[in-house]
């Protein structure tokens, strides 16, 4: 048996992919994450609200997501202690706008900065890519900036804004902020129409067939063609099992899907495992990434999972043709991006500024004891924050990030989602791309 | 055409926030016409990591993001102990820039093991971090740093001979300001009108909500974030992210001594409390009311 180890670059952080081979075929894969930072440990014995400022530092690319998961966890402690906080519609909308800004920017960044250069490299191994030399790179960078600027009108800054508080949001925007934010979003829309989708957003959103997307020249159809050429329409398939525990306007409650069958889900069936980590065994462990399962099964989380549980017609058509292959997973980010843009535009135009931003809790936070859970859908999938507090001081803080679902390590008998997608491949380059199709974030994974 | 200055970007223990903040730089084409990113872990650079590591070529700027450590169990990159990479790169760089509070002072991740995790030249406030001494280091703290702080410092070092630095090696053009300067709540601060509760445009966040604006060196409220806003403009307190002691404990609370808040930077306690008492005794109707009142 041959074993190869390679470092995966140009993801968020870095990972090592160790592949076991037999007859030129991958028989098992270990996905290793190092560079642990220990935010959960750092939070211990700190005042509860510090979590709102410190958890965003888990990850520079999804800092608002952590802030929102954290505030939901804190609000749920109040709830568990008998005080249901009233959060106004306006505050909820602002939280969603901020989260969407982060998702939209993430999807564009990932597609234009990671996936396109990767596809060029797969097609031509001598291509190393140089972001700064390509015009489209600058256009994408501008769209990314505009998306974040749109959100910053409410969050104060990106990354690492702190705009949420138990009971609402801290900002009190004016109509002029909203107008300016809409202007930013409109320039994101122009970029997407011109480059990403090659057609008006509305038209793209009306599609229910993969062929409609593929027939129009665009960065997306170019990517799809390249993936078809490389066989990524068949490669990278996993369990075809999806999970979305956080709320979305596209579906009701928490859901899971097995292929196309959608069922209700509950966070109580989530289990986190330390197997194969340095935390469990300093010597035998090989990664800092924990792994997460739902009723002992590995499930895929992320945009594809969200669109599958939402029964989104275009995604269903891609899935009907290609199952949960790498191609489907990549396309899902592009499709979700379009929905998020349309939804955000709607939220901005109906934002009711007359409502209060914040209702202070009655209970003094310093006397608060109990447990709480906050669940949201972050750019890469379900993100869970669990906190245990005694007299306003954090006893225990636990974070389950999306990448822990997709990229944790299982066993040979029960490999994780990404492992399953990699086993059976015949080249490292392909394995590298399949791994990246999950939008790997090692900083989130190792916290 | 002038030769482009070359940059190699290296990450220690980080959340990548400074890299992402940098990607918000609005005049990126102008930046790219003067600088060449030889290597960046996230962005496609001109060379791969191993090419840079194996070559002996010199470059103009080494940008370090993230906290540092000599302990290879705490920090390695590409399967190589981090100190080997850093020492190799540092020898070949004309200037070393610490991007963000982690590389400058150790930042948030230093809290887990302050003995072993530090900034480049400082460990918190103390001199002596990863290196005891080094003459070509500039600190640009901030969690994250503002993209303009980085780009403008790069241009300054490239085009001018001198860059004035403060005692923490921070460029004075940025860090001579306080986050308090440019805050829209300044008048409330002057007349000691506190913000009754969060989520409102009115009132200062210094008295009850832990705002560190008057103690934090940074021009973020002058140049704004993402071109449009800032923490205090969005109603949340400044967390003091550019200072060596970031993050303090209880970030959303004002630590008080006999019910008096900390004094702003550079003022004697006694004088401050005297003036504050006088200011508070004025009741300025305009500042007690809503800024935008529908009934008037
Ligand atoms: S809110 Fe903070 S930065 Fe603004 S005036 Fe008050 S103390 Fe200064
Ligand atoms: S306002 Fe304070 S916390 Fe925010 S970026 Fe400026 S210095 Fe950092």
Q: Are residues B14 and B138 in the same domain?
A: yes
Let me know whether B243 and B215 are in one domain: yes
How many domains does chain B contain in total?
2
Cβ–Cβ below 8 Å for A159 and B236: no
Nearest ligand to residue A160 Cα: 2
Residue that is last in its domain, among B173, B207, B240: B173
Is pLDDT of A443 > 70? no
Of B48, B75, B236, the CB nearest to A156: B236
Of A38, A154, A172, which is closest to B201 when you measure between CB atoms?
A172
On whether both B197 and B140 belong to a single domain, the answer is no
**Can you tell me the mean pLDDT for A312-325?**
98
B159 with B98, same domain: the answer is yes
Q: What is the pLDDT of residues B11-26, one digit of tens each?
A: 999 999 999 999 999 9
The chain A residue lying nearest B102, using CA atoms, is A57
- Least confident segment among A81-90, A141-150, A302-311, B267-276: B267-276
- Residue range B149-165: average pLDDT? 93
CA distances (Å), A405 to each of A37, A49, A351, A408, in order?
19, 27, 34, 6
- The whole-number average pLDDT for the span A430-441 is 88
Judge whether residue B1 has pLDDT over 60. no
Q: What is the pLDDT of residue B193?
A: 92
Nearest-atom index, ligand 2, CA of B220 = 6
Give how far B83 is from chain A: nearest CA, Å.
14
Q: What does the pLDDT average to over B183-207?
A: 94
Pinpoint the alpha helices (H) of B160-202: 172-175, 186-190
For residue B101, the domain's CATH number is 3.40.50.700
More confident residue, B263 or A243: A243
Same domain? B217 vs B122: no
Indicate whether B204 pLDDT > 60: yes
* A residues 374..413 contacting B (CB < 8 A): none
pLDDT beyond 70 at B295: no
Contact A392, A365 (CB under 8 A): yes
Mean pLDDT calculated for residue range A144-149: 98
From the CA of B217, give the closest atom in ligand 2.
7
* pLDDT higher than threshold 80 for residue A334: yes
State which of B213, B266, B267 you would mutate to test the pocket of ligand 1, scoring each by most atoms of that ligand within 8 A of its C-beta: B213
Mean pLDDT lowest for which of A393-397, B110-114, B290-294?
B290-294
Across all residues in chain A, what is the average pLDDT? 93
The two structure tokens encoding residue A421 = 């997608």
Mean pLDDT confidence for A362-375: 96
Supply the residue whose CA is at minimum distance from atom 2 of ligand 2. Answer: B238
Q: Does B73 touch chain A (CB under 8 A)?
A: no
Report how far Cα A208 is from the mean position of its chain's Cα atoms: 24
What are the angstrom distances between the C-alpha of A6 and each of A113, A148, A423?
Answer: 21, 34, 16
Which of B10, B61, B74, B3 minimizes the C-alpha distance to B33? B3
B109 has a chain A CB within 8 A of its CB: yes
What is the model's pLDDT at position B40?
A: 92
- Lowest-confidence pick of A55-64, A180-189, B244-253, B284-293: B284-293
Which residue minimizes the CA distance to atom 6 of ligand 1? B204
Q: In B, which residues are within 8 Å of A54 by CB distance?
A: 108, 247
Average pLDDT of A54-65?
Answer: 93
C-alpha pair distances (Å), A241 with each of A295, A383, A400, A425, B22: 12, 17, 18, 20, 37
Residues with CB under 6 A from ligand 2: B 142, 179, 216, 218, 220, 230-231, 238-242
pLDDT at B271: 84
User: Does residue A53 belong to the interface with chain B, where contact is any CB pair within 8 Å?
Assistant: yes
Distance B38 CA to ligand 2 centre (A): 30
pLDDT at A447 over 70: no
> Which ligand gives the minimal distance to the CA of B226?
2
B262 has pLDDT over 90: no
Residue nearest to atom 6 of ligand 2 (CA): B220
- Mean pLDDT for A49-55 is 96
In tens, the pLDDT along A404-418 reads 899 888 899 999 999
Q: Do residues B12 and B130 share a domain?
A: yes
Same domain, yes or no, for B256 and B145?
no
In tens, the pLDDT along B44-74 reads 778 888 899 999 999 999 999 999 999 998 8
Same domain, B147 and B20: yes
Looking at residue B194, which CATH number applies to its domain?
A: 4.10.480.10
- Do B112 and B30 share a structural domain? yes
Residues 6+ apart with CB under 8 A from B1: none
Give the model's pLDDT for residue B44.
Answer: 77
B236 C-alpha to ligand 1 centroid (Å): 10
- Domain endpoint, select from B148, B173, B198: B173
Domain boundary among B173, B192, B225: B173
Query: What range does the domain containing B143 cover?
Result: 5-173
What's the pLDDT band for B272 if we cut at 50, 70, 90? confident
The distance of A8 to chain B (nearest Cα, Å) reads 9
**Closest residue to A157, CB basis, from B18, B42, B229:** B229
pLDDT of A138 strictly over 90: yes
Is the confidence at residue A131, as pLDDT, over 80?
no
Q: Do B42 and B152 belong to one domain?
A: yes
- Look at residue B296 and tell me whether its pLDDT is greater than 60: no
Mean pLDDT within A8-14? 74
pLDDT at residue B130 greater than cutoff 80: yes
Which residues of chain B neighbour A180 with C-beta distances below 8 Å? 228
Q: Predicted confidence band at A276 (pLDDT cuts at 50, 70, 90)?
A: confident
Instruction: List CB contacts (< 8 A) between B199 and chain A.
Output: 91, 165, 168-172, 356-358
- Ramachandran category for residue B235: left, alpha or beta (phi over 0 → left; psi -120 to 50 → alpha): left
**What is the pLDDT, as a whole number, of residue A444?**
64
As given in the structure block, the two tokens for residue B6 are: 């070359």
Which chain B positions have a beta carbon within 8 Å of A57's beta carbon?
15, 17, 108, 143
Q: Looking at ligand 1, which atom is closest to the CA of residue B211?
A: 2
Q: Chain B window 200-229: which residues touch A at a Cβ cutoff of 8 Å?
A: 200-201, 220, 225-229
Beta bridge partners of A242: A257, A300
* Domains detected in chain A: 35-83+361-400 (no CATH), 86-237+324-360 (1.10.645.10)
Say if residue A59 carries a ligand binding annotation. Answer: yes
Contact B229 A7 (CB under 8 A): no
Given a cut of 70, whether residue A442 has pLDDT beyond it is no
% of chain B residues with pLDDT over 90: 77
- At residue A47, the 3 state secondary structure works out as strand
**R_g of chain B, CA atoms, integer Å:** 21
For the cut 90, the answer to whether the pLDDT of residue A399 exceeds it is yes
Smallest-distance ligand from the CA of B240? 2
Average pLDDT over residues B29-44: 91
Q: What are phi and psi of A234, to 5 degrees?
A: -115, -25
Question: How large a percentage of chain B has pLDDT more than 70?
Answer: 99
- Digit-coded pLDDT (tens) for B164-190: 999 999 999 999 999 999 999 999 999
**Structure confidence at residue B37 as a pLDDT band (50, 70, 90):** very high
| B147 and B13 assigned to the same domain | yes
User: B11 — contact with chain A (CB < 8 Å)?
Assistant: yes
Q: What is the pLDDT of residue B2?
A: 64
Extended strands (E) in A359-439: 370-378, 381-390, 393-400
Q: What is the B211 CA–ligand 2 centroid distance (Å)?
A: 10
| Nearest neighbour of B43 by CB, restricted to A131, A155, A358 | A131
> What confidence tens digit (pLDDT) does each residue in B96-120 have?
999 999 999 999 999 999 999 999 9
Closest chain B residue to A41, measured at CA = B112
Query: Does one domain contain both B70 and B158?
Result: yes
What secondary structure letter does DSSP report for A85?
A: P
């Amino acid at each position: 048996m041959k074993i190869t180890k390679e470092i995966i670059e140009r993801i968020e952080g870095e990972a090592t992919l160790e592949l076991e081979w037999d007859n030129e075929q991958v028989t098992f894969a270990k996905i290793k994450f190092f560079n642990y930072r220990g935010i959960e440990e750092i939070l211990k014995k700190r005042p509860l609200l510090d979590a709102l400022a410190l958890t965003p530092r888990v990850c520079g690319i999804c800092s608002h997501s952590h802030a929102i998961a954290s505030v939901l966890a804190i609000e749920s402690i109040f709830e568990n202690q008998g005080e249901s906080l009233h959060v106004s519609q306006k505050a909820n909308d602002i939280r969603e706008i901020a989260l969407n800004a982060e998702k939209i920017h993430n999807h564009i960044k990932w597609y234009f900065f990671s996936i396109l250069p990767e596809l060029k490299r797969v097609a031509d191994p001598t291509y190393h890519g140089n972001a700064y030399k390509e015009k489209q790179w600058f256009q994408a960078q501008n769209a990314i900036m505009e998306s974040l600027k749109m959100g910053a009108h409410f969050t104060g800054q990106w990354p690492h804004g702190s705009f949420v508080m138990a009971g609402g949001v801290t900002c009190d925007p004016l109509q002029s902020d909203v107008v300016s934010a809409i202007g930013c979003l409109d320039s994101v829309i122009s970029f997407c129409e011109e480059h990403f989708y090659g057609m008006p957003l509305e038209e793209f959103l009306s599609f229910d067939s993969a062929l409609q997307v593929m027939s129009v020249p665009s960065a997306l159809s170019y990517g799809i063609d390249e993936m078809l050429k490389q066989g990524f329409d068949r490669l990278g398939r996993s369990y075809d099992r999806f999970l979305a525990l956080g709320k979305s306007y596209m579906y009701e409650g928490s859901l899971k899907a097995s292929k196309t069958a959608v069922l209700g889900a509950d966070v109580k069936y989530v289990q986190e495992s330390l197997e194969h980590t340095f935390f469990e065994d300093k010597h035998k462990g090989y990664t800092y990434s924990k792994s997460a399962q739902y009723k002992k099964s590995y499930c895929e989380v992320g945009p594809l999972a969200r669109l599958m549980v939402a029964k989104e017609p275009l995604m269903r058509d891609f899935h009907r043709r290609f199952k949960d292959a790498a191609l489907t997973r990549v396309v899902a980010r592009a499709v979700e991006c379009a929905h998020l843009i349309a939804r955000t535009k709607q939220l901005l135009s109906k934002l009711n500024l007359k409502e209060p931003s914040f209702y202070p809790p009655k209970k003094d936070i310093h006397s608060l004891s109990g447990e709480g859970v906050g669940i949201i859908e972050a750019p890469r999938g379900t993100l869970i924050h669990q906190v245990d507090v005694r007299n306003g001081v954090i006893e225990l803080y636990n974070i389950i990030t999306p990448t822990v679902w997709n990229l944790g390590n299982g066993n040979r008998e029960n490999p994780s989602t990404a492992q399953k997608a990699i086993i059976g491949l015949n080249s490292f380059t392909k394995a590298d791309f399949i791994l990246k199709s999950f939008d790997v974030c090692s900083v989130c994974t190792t916290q | 055409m002038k030769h482009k200055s070359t940059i190699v970007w290296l990450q220690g223990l980080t959340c990548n926030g400074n890299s992402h903040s940098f990607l918000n730089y609005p005049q990126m084409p102008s930046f790219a016409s003067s600088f060449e990113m030889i290597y960046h872990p996230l962005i496609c650079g001109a060379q791969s990591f191993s090419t840079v590591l194996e070559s002996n070529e010199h470059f103009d700027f080494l940008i370090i993001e993230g906290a540092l450590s000599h302990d290879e169990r705490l920090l390695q990159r590409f399967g190589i102990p981090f100190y080997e990479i850093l020492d190799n790169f540092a020898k070949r760089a004309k200037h070393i820039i610490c991007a963000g509070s982690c590389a400058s002072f150790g930042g948030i991740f230093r809290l887990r093991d302050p003995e072993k995790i530090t900034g480049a030249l400082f460990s918190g406030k103390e001199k002596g971090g990863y290196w005891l001494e080094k003459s070509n280091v500039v600190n640009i703290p901030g969690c994250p740093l503002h993209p303009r702080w980085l780009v403008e410092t790069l241009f300054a070092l490239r085009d001018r001979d001198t860059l004035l630095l403060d005692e923490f090696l921070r460029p004075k053009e940025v860090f001579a300001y306080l986050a308090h300067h440019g805050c829209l709540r300044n008048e409330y601060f002057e007349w000691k009108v506190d913000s009754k509760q969060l989520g409102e445009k009115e009132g200062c966040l210094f008295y009850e909500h832990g705002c560190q604006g008057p103690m934090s060196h940074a021009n973020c409220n002058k140049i704004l974030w993402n071109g449009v806003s800032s923490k205090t403009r969005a109603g949340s307190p400044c967390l003091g992210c550019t200072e060596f002691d970031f993050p303090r404990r209880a970030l959303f609370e004002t630590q008080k001594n006999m019910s008096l808040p900390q004094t702003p930077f550079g003022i004697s306690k006694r004088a401050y409390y005297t003036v504050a008492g006088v200011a508070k005794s004025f009741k300025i109707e305009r500042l007690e009311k809503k800024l935008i009142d529908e009934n008037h």
